[in-house]
Structures are given as C-alpha cells and as structure tokens.
Amino acid sequence: FNMMNNYVWGDIPNEIKALHSIERLDLSGNRLQGKFPSEVRRLTKLKYIKLQHNKMTGSLPIHIGFMQSAIELDISKNKFSGSIPTEINRLSNIRILDFSNNVFTNQFPMIRNLKELRYLHLGSNELSGTVPFSLAETPEVREVYLEKNKLTGTIAPEMETLSKLRIFSAYDNKISGNFPNYMFYSNEELEQVSIQFNSFTGSIPTFAGRLRTLHTLQMHDNDFTGTFPSEWQFMTSLRILHLQNNRMHGSLPPTVNKFPVLKELWISHNDLTGAIPPEFSESNSLEQLYLDHNKLQGQIPPEMSQMAKLETLRLEENAITGSVPDEVCNMKTFQLRFMSMDCVNEITCPDNCCNKCY
C-alpha cells in the first residue's frame, strides 16, 4: 500500500485494519496529522511501516509491540512526543528503527533482544539519561545515531562488543568521562565516529590503531587532552579528522603523510607546540589544514608548496615567525584559495599572498 508524496492530509482512518493482508504501508511525505494508528496492531502481516515526513503527534501506544512481523518502522520527521515505550523490544524481527526528528523525551529506552536490528536512529529528540549498556545486545547493528539529544553519563564499556558497527554518531549531547580506549576494538568495518560537542575528558583514545576502514573521525569541541596518538597512522582510510577545541598538547605528528586520502585536518584551538613538520609536504591529498590558535613556533616550511591539493591554510594565533616563503605564496596562483596568519606583526606576508592577517 503505497501513497507516499500524495498530499494526503488528516488522520489515518481506523478502517485501515481492513487491509489485513498488506505487508507494506507507506504514507511518507504527506500532510498526515493525528496519532499513531492503533489499528495497525491488527495488521499481523505488516513488515514495513513508513510514516516519516508528516505532522503526526501524540505518544506511541504500548501496543506498538504487537507488530511482531515488522522489519522496518520509520516515523521520523513528525511531532511525536512522550517516552519511547519499552514494548519496542518485542519487535523481534525489526531491522530498521527510525524515530529521529521528533520530540521524544524522558530516559533513553533500554534496547533489549533486538537481535536483528541493523539501523537505529534516535537523533534530534530530547532524550535524556545515559547511553544504555543494553545496546551491546544488538549484535547485528550497523548504524547508531543518537545525536542532538540531552544524553549524559559515560559510554558503557560493553559497547566495544558491537563488532559490525559502521557508523556511531552521538554528537551534540552532554556525554562525559573518558571515551573507552578499546571501543570498537573488535570492529573491522567502522567508517564514521562523530562524538563532537560533548564533555568527554581524558586522553585522546588510540583505538588501538586498528580502524583501517575509518574515514571520518570527529571529536572536536570536547575536553580531550594528551598528544596526537602515533597509533592513528594505521588508519589509512581516514579522510576527515576534526580535533579542534580540545586541550591537546605536544607537537604536530610528522606522520600525517601516512594518511594517503586525508582531506581535512582541523586541530585548531588546542595547546600544540613545536614547529610545522616538513613532512606535511608529503601529503598529496590534504585540502584543508587548520592549525590556528595553538602555540606553534618556528617558520613556515617552504616544502609546504608541494601540497598539490591544499586549498585552505590557517595558521593565525600562533608564535610562528619569519616570512611566508615565495613558494607557498605562489600556490595562490593555483589551488590555494585561502590563507590566514599573524602577518600584522609576527610574519611577513608579501602583497596579495595572505587573505587575512591577524
């Protein structure tokens, strides 16, 4: 039964229970209002329920757990509210559960016995409490999205058992404590970790240097300390690395050339010291390099002109001195679009070389 994007409006009628043989109900992308249809529980063969992109309201009924055949339940981008009922744990065949972009409140639900679950999206709600250790009881889960809620507490060590996880997104919450160093230790498929805008503390986790499939690591705007982990050089699929606005110290890693496909390296607003390693010039993929607002010293290596794809270079608010090498300025003729430094006093920047001086 497919009526997606048909400008259907009003409530879902009770007469829907007459469709007792349907396996798919797709009413997404309409203007439906009212509550979750209670009569859906009578559709015992229903496998796919897609109600996203509507204006439905109210709380979810506890009899949502009666939909034993359900494989996909997507009610995202509505205005559902209240608590998420624990009865969802009766959906033993569910693979896709998407409750994102609603107004669900109260404690994060305990997720138990959902052995077939592959995709869990609870982001952009107002859920509180901790990330439950019971998530470890979803051994098949590939993607977990918990961002933009009000979650607190720490990450349970049991989460390291999610060996098939590909995406873990929990940014913009209030999660604190150390991020488990052996999180994802047994994982060989992880592609993205987004935990920015939280309150994590302690040393930057090394992840045991095993995440060879990881392409996006966003840990910025936390309170991480420590130095750049040498173990990360084995993350050879990394494309985006965002670490700005933490309290990292020590020197920049000369092994940045070990990331063969890295495009974005943002480490601004930390306490990094030392000089820019000449080895940075060996990066043939880097497009954005943000090193501003640190305590870097020395001069700009002329070898940086060999970074063939560099488009943005930010070095302001450091203790770098000397002149911008002519070789680096000549990059403005080709790929380099934006360059900012402390060229009011500390650094000499030739005309038409720096886009912005501080």
3-state secondary structure of 357: strand
Please tell me the pTM assigned to this model: 0.94
Q: Let me know: does 163 contact 135? Beta carbons within 8 Å.
A: no
Write the pLDDT tens digit of every residue in 30-41: 999 999 988 888
Q: Average the pLDDT over 314-323 and give the result.
A: 95
Residue among 165, 116, 161 nearest 145 (CA): 165
Write the pLDDT tens digit of every residue in 138-188: 999 999 999 999 999 999 888 888 889 999 999 999 999 999 877 777 788
The 3-state secondary structure of 11-79 reads CCCHHHHHCCCCCEEECCCCEECCCCCHHHHHCCCCCEEECCCCCCEECCCHHHHHCCCCCEEECCCCE
Residue 208: the pLDDT is 62
Residue among 283, 284, 296, 286 nearest 342 (CA): 296
Dihedrals φ, ψ of 206, to 5°?
-85, -20
Q: Let me know: does 130 contact 107? Beta carbons within 8 Å.
A: no
Residue 334: the pLDDT is 82
Write the pLDDT tens digit of every residue in 38-89: 888 888 899 999 999 999 999 999 989 889 899 999 999 999 999 999 999 9
Report residue 68 CA to chain centroid gap: 31
